[in-house]
Amino acid sequence: MEEQNKLEKMVSDIKEYAETRFDIIVLNTQDKATHVISSIATSVIMGVLGFFILIFLSIGGAWSLGEYFNSPSIGFFSVAGFYLLVTILLYVNREKWIKMPIINSILKKITFHEND
């Protein structure tokens, strides 16, 4: 009789341990997912704000170049040519400059530890 109680207690403890372990895994997964999502949201917001800054700086630079050369079209075409060169460079180096840093950043956020 006493042995059966011990066995039932042990089974109950094992069930409780498994449930607790599952809850910990779920909480850790939720924590990591929210961390990644918040980082992505922050990056998107910063990207949009950076885009607007870049647009206005580009317009100002194109306007200034146009004033300097006495032709607004030269200023705007010069800025467009600069962005064409930047786009070609980014396209050629997209794996090294864009894809891998993003993958590494997401993996770092997913695999972070409590004591880091």
Per-residue pLDDT for the chain (116 aa), expressed as one digit of tens each? 678 888 888 999 999 999 999 999 999 999 888 988 998 999 999 999 999 999 999 999 999 999 999 999 999 999 999 999 999 999 999 999 999 998 898 888 777 655 54
Q: What is this structure's pTM?
A: 0.68
Structure tokens at 109: 């956020």
Q: How far apart are the C-alpha atoms of 65 and 81, rounded to whole Å?
A: 13
CB-based contacts of 24-27 (< 8 A; 24+ apart in sequence): none
Distance (Å, rounded) from C-alpha 43 to C-alpha 102? 11
Find the helix or strand (DSSP H, E) in which 47 lies: helix 2-68
Two structure tokens written together for 74: 């030269």
Tokens of 115: 């004591």
CA atoms within 13 A on the CB side of 91: 6
